[in-house]
Structure 1
Amino acid sequence: MSVASAQRPTRILVDLDRLAGNLEAIRAHVRVPVMAIVKANAYGHGLVPVARRLEACGVDRFGVAFLEEGVALRRAGVRAPILVLGGIYGPQVAQFLAHDLEITVSSVDKLRQVEAAAESAGRRAAVHLKIDTGMERIGVHHDSAGPFVEAAVASRWCEVKGIYSHLACADDPASPMTAVQLARFLDACAHFDRLGAPMPLRHLANSGGVLHFPETHLDLVRPGIVLYGVLPAPASRPTIPVRPALSLVSRVVYFKVVRAGRPVSYGATWAPPADTRVVTVPIGYGDGFPRALSSRGRVLIGGRAYPIVGRVCMDQFMVDIGSDSAWNEDEVVLIGRQGEAEIRVEALAETAGLIPYEILVGLNERVPREY
């Protein structure tokens, strides 16, 4: 038996060629530089393999959430500019500088923290100014941005590479909030003109902005989930021809006949009304497959969809195949295509009462990934 065949039958398959194709489709649509968002393990696809492939495709920049993600990319040899999007924690600033990571500065106090660390290290810090235009998360309020921009422009130890905000409702092309946020953001950016300072990179568009609001594309876009071929919300429109890059597959590991009335799984929440055939699949909520799919989700076996029955366990769940046949080691598709049938992340999320992001980032490192 080979090492490959002896590995766990449940695995994530990531199509890096399809990912590269999605990047090209986004570039053709927006016609401005792209910052690929690879936070949260590249939305479950694998931080380092995804970043390496995108860098080989010439992506302009990367965005991550935390210092640790940026450091992991640098240690993997990624050389493109990397912006850490999250709020900074003062004692970490020296590590940002040591690994040549761009820093989100979200207040004058944070700016002073970065200045002090940069002066101590004897090197200038690359920063992006965060403006709050409606999220109330981090960032200086748009109507108080003047002194913030002025302090950043005057800084001896900070080089302002960008200014940005985040769209709260761009997943919905009908939402009026995006126009309000864009106007607020452009008003904040105008302080650079007032000061006679060079305008840094202005970036605002997340996946929803990329898909629906070309006026938000400005100097740079930040696609996240759409880069991986998944739409961010039910209201989102597929305005770019992207394709899912991730599949989740497993194998049948047990077959049995369950007699009428005999309950299946924890809590005895489901029992067949008549004798039926049930197979067991070795993946569960311990891998990030949602327990909310208990007696609600479906999987593909032999190109047909069958229902998950009973509660999803930590490591396994059961599937009712009725009077059909399935054999041990038959492929089971949880996300992806099998024959003419397909289960998309968006549909899985809707069934589970979640959002597509939660499905993808919930798939943890217990599930091996193949590229």
Structure 2
Amino acid sequence: MSRPPGHLHVPAAPDGDPARLPSPAAVGRPSRILVDLDAIAANHRAIADHVRVPVMAIVKANAYGHGLVPVTRHLEAAGATRLGVAFVEEGIALRQAGVTLPILVMGGIFGPQVAQFIVHDLELTVSSLSKLGQVEEAARTLGRRARVHLKIDTGMERIGVHAASAGALVEAAVRSPWCETVGVYSHLACADDPDSPMTALQLERFLEACAHFDRLGAPMPLRHLANSGGVLHFPGTWLDMVRPGILLYGVLPDPASRPVVALRPALSLVSQVVYFKVVRAGSTVGYGATWTAASDTRVVTVPVGYGDGWPRALSSRGEVLIRGRRHPLAGRVCMDQFMVDIGAHSAWNEDEVVLVGRQGPEAISVEDVARCAGTIPYEILVQLNERIPREYRGGADSAH
């Protein structure tokens, strides 16, 4: 349905002069991500109060879809003390944005990039003797010491020296004139499941590897092991620091996770109705004609699609909120749009549509979307790409 006359937000310019119309950017895309910066800061405080050890805030993957630079600046202003990213490019972007906190790059290092870590004062993950050698060579060439965290593989088989053979790496790092060993860490494979026995085994292996520092009479660096699942379920893994990722944004990592920390979801995804029509019984909707109207019904179109990162797996399965009611998707999610069956209910063009978030008495969480799409909350968040504008609320420097 179209709005009555007088509802339009932007009247036509006199004489149809396009130069006098607002630009598309000024009007704004009807789809947008709303990020509550204060919720992220509150989650950081709640986690810190829960674990009583320092917190490394993980802001990789565009701060889990929330926006790397705005989120990190707000965390820094709110008292965060350390950051973790995946790639050197993310760390450099933060340095160029003026962020001065210690930043650990947790991904495996690529030899030709090592000098960039050192020049931009980024902490490196050293996962083998050969990687240590690459770091030492770059540091020697630059005449600057590198700050490193040793990575111990306790069961992920991703990167890191096996715990049983970590002694040689620890000794070489401790004795290196070009490296300062800031931390030693591993990654938990099954901590999202509070009943998994794997975490106890990984903790045992990790502590055995850390014992090499005592054997050498060297100061113990920061030991960090707990990810979001570890924060929730395994206090023994908290050690000297924890590394929450998805938990920082108010989302649980897994359906089995126990919500033992009070969190506030930080992200909402909203759009607007851009088309309304009546679909007659027996008519099909969307690509492949996979959905058929069982009776005369009302269908609206929403301008979000898999080109924005909205999962195609939600085709004829997902739900959205319109006027405080849940309505199912009809047919396949397209690249730029999807359709919604609103039945006998009403909707106007430009009505708000909530894909993630709250509207009236109803709410759709990231966890709900992930469950419906047959995936994990992480994937839902990080797939939301830059085609959707982000609006920031809260904080001293809220910006678009």
Specify the TM-score bucket, using the shorter chain as the normaliser.
Answer: over 0.9
Q: Distance in 2 between matches of 1:323 and 1:111?
A: 66
Other-structure match for 2:372: 351
Alignment of 1:183-194 (within 5 A): 183-194=204-215
SS class of match (1:20): helix
Aligned mate of 2:256, from 235, 253, 256: 235
Aligned mate of 2:116, from 95, 105, 108: 95
The TM-score with structure 2 as length reference comes to 0.92
Other-structure match for 2:266: 245
Deviation by residue 1:108-136 (Cα, 9 ceiling, x = unmatched): 00000000000000000000000000000
Q: Does 1:14 align with 2:35?
A: yes
Alignment of 1:141-180 (within 5 A): 141-180=162-201
Q: Distance in 2 between matches of 1:183 and 1:166?
A: 13
Alignment of 1:51-62 (within 5 A): 51-62=72-83
Q: Point out where structure 2 has 5 or more consecutive residues left out of the alignment.
A: 1-9, 11-21, 393-400
Q: Does 1:201 align with 2:227?
A: no
Deviation by residue 1:130-158 (Cα, 9 ceiling, x = unmatched): 00000000000000011110000010000
Aligned residue identity for 2:296: D
Q: Distance in 2 between matches of 1:341 and 1:5?
A: 31
SS class of match (1:309): coil
Q: Distance in 2 between matches of 1:56 and 1:212?
A: 29
Deviation by residue 1:272-300 (Cα, 9 ceiling, x = unmatched): 11110000000000000000000000000
How well do the aligned residues superpose, as a CA RMSD in angstroms? Answer: 0.8
Aligned residue identity for 1:253: V
Aligned residue identity for 1:342: A
SS class of match (1:198): coil
- Shift of the alpha carbon at 1:269? 0.2
Q: Distance in 2 between matches of 1:146 and 1:317?
A: 56
Q: Distance in 2 between matches of 1:297 and 1:29?
A: 35
SS class of match (2:291): coil
Other-structure match for 1:322: 343
Other-structure match for 1:127: 148
SS class of match (1:24): helix
Q: Distance in 1 between matches of 2:39 and 2:158?
A: 33
Aligned residue identity for 2:364: I
Q: Does 1:66 align with 2:87?
A: yes
- Shift of the alpha carbon at 1:355? 0.4
Deviation by residue 1:9-56 (Cα, 9 ceiling, x = unmatched): 000000001111101100100111110000000000000000000001
Q: Distance in 2 between matches of 1:244 and 1:174?
A: 25
Other-structure match for 2:231: 210
Q: Distance in 1 between matches of 2:110 and 2:169?
A: 19
Q: Distance in 2 between matches of 1:36 and 1:227?
A: 7
Other-structure match for 2:306: 285
Other-structure match for 2:137: 116
- Shift of the alpha carbon at 1:222? 0.2
Q: Distance in 2 between matches of 1:101 and 1:19?
A: 23
Other-structure match for 2:5: none
Deviation by residue 1:63-110 (Cα, 9 ceiling, x = unmatched): 000000000000000000000000000000110011000000000000
The TM-score with structure 1 as length reference comes to 0.99
Q: Distance in 1 between matches of 2:166 and 2:294?
A: 65
Q: Distance in 2 between matches of 1:362 and 1:55?
A: 25
- Shift of the alpha carbon at 1:5? 6.3
| Structure ID, larger Rg | 2
Q: Distance in 2 between matches of 1:32 and 1:56?
A: 19
Other-structure match for 1:309: 330
Q: Distance in 1 between matches of 2:77 and 2:27?
A: 32
Q: Point out where structure 1 has 5 or more consecutive residues left out of the alignment.
A: none
- Shift of the alpha carbon at 1:340? 1.0
Q: Does 1:25 align with 2:25?
A: no
Q: Distance in 1 between matches of 2:207 and 2:79?
A: 29
Q: Distance in 2 between matches of 1:40 and 1:302?
A: 33
Q: Does 1:261 align with 2:282?
A: yes
Q: Distance in 2 between matches of 1:303 and 1:237?
A: 28
Other-structure match for 1:294: 315
Aligned residue identity for 2:209: A
Number of residue pairs matched?
371
